[in-house]
């Protein structure tokens, strides 16, 4: 199997936590890795260029190939610079693992415009900025692998994370379309919702829960989705605690009318509208 051997993969937010595990495993599997990390705090403030450099040093010490990048994903210029780092160092870009993220948790009534904008700027716009700059190169070379970090907060909701959840589900919408547009160019796009002990979850899980969720459990799925052989595209997965699961949207059997129903008619058949006893595959029609 070719796997990721010789491929060039950009991992954003790779200076620690999940991103570090992704970068280390990809390098062990033979990928040449761009380790991107601004080195900011959990809420997105500040910067520290040493974070990415330390991961690069770890990779190089074991014979792998990696370079550091410290640009922010949150701007178009930063996204372009991250991809350019891959091109300058390795001459191509085969994979994007869009992992960089921040948290600004607040209940919706207390959320500020700044809290909303900052989280979407890093997660949703950040993924767009990096992927959009890599996309033409992937099309031209007829090969690409994109993995975005979604979240169960986006798939199912979580109290105090309206901004984060909106951004994370937005990324599922992004990969659904990229999978369609990339199909004839050999580009696969998927999403992973990791469940792991990182600085993002340090104060929202118990110590016992955190011990059961080492971040390295998620990394094999990321590496597989970056591999040449992967067939899935436009798919979302949950990974954590040794369990790997694809998740999908389904439709109820539904109620059909041969005329525009009245509100009362629709209400009378509402049980059919919400009946999932015989679920149908998701889709537009």
Tell me: the pLDDT tens digits for 145-196? 999 999 999 999 999 999 999 999 999 999 999 999 999 999 999 999 998 7
Tell me if residue 22 is catalytic.
Answer: no
Active-site position among 22, 125, 128, 164 = 164
Q: How many other C-beta atoms are found inside a 10 Å radius of the C-beta of residue 264? A: 7
Beta strands of the chain (E only): which ranges?
8-11, 32-36, 65-69, 95-98, 144-149, 187-194, 235-240, 243-247, 250-251, 280-281
Q: Which of 1-15, 86-100, 238-252 has the highest mean pLDDT?
A: 86-100
202-214 burial, b at 16+ Cβ within 10 Å, e below that, comes to: eeebeeeebeebb
- What is the pLDDT at residue 189? 98
Which residue from 196, 248, 185 is spatially nearest to 220, judged by alpha carbons?
196
Which of 40-54, 103-117, 220-234, 258-272 bottoms out in mean pLDDT, i.e. has the lowest?
Answer: 40-54
Quick check: 203 pLDDT over 80? no
Q: What percent of the chain has pLDDT over 90?
A: 82
Mean pLDDT for the chain overall: 92
Backbone angles phi, psi at 275, to 5 degrees: -90, 110
- What is the pLDDT at residue 196? 73
Quick check: 282 pLDDT over 90? no
Question: Do residues 141 and 90 make contact, with C-beta atoms less than 8 angstroms apart?
Answer: no
Q: Rounded to two decimals, what is the model's pTM?
A: 0.90
Tokens of 263: 């509100």
Quick one: fold of 249-285? Helix Hairpins (1.10.287)
Which of 57-61, 168-172, 207-211 bottoms out in mean pLDDT, i.e. has the lowest?
Answer: 207-211
The CATH homologous superfamily for domain 8-248 is: NAD(P)-binding Rossmann-like Domain (3.40.50.720)
pLDDT digits (tens, 9 = 90+) for 221-273: 999 999 999 999 999 999 988 889 999 999 998 999 999 999 999 999 999 99
Cα 213–124–176 angle (5° rounding)?
85
Domain residue ranges of the chain, discontinuous segments joined by +: 8-248, 249-285
């Amino acid at each position: 199997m070719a796997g990721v051997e010789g491929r060039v993969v950009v991992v954003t937010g790779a200076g620690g936590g999940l991103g570090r595990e992704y970068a280390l495993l990809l390098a062990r599997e033979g990928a040449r890795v761009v380790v991107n990390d601004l080195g900011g705090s959990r809420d997105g403030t500040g910067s520290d260029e040493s974070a990415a450099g330390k991961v690069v040093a770890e990779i190089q010490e074991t014979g792998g190939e990696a370079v550091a990048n410290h640009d922010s994903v949150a701007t178009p210029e930063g996204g372009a610079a991250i991809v350019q780092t891959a091109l300058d160092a390795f001459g191509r870009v085969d994979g994007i693992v869009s992992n960089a993220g921040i948290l600004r948790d607040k209940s919706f009534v207390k959320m500020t415009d700044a809290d909303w904008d900052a989280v979407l700027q890093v997660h949703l716009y950040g993924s767009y900025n990096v992927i959009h700059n890599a996309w033409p190169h992937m099309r031209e070379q007829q090969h690409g692998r994109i993995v975005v970090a979604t979240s169960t907060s986006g798939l199912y909701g979580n109290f105090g994370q309206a901004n984060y959840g909106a951004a994370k589900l937005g990324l599922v919408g992004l990969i659904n379309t990229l999978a369609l547009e990339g199909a004839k160019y050999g580009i696969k796009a998927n999403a992973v919702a990791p469940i792991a002990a990182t600085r993002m979850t340090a104060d929202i899980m118990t110590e016992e829960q955190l011990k059961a969720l080492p971040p390295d459990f998620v990394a094999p799925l990321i590496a597989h989705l970056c591999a040449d052989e992967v067939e899935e595209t436009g798919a979302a997965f949950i990974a954590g605690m040794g369990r790997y699961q694809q998740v999908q949207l389904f439709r109820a059997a539904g109620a059909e009318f041969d005329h525009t129903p009245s509100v009362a008619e629709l209400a009378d058949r509402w049980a059919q509208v919400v009946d999932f006893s015989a679920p149908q595959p998701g889709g537009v029609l």
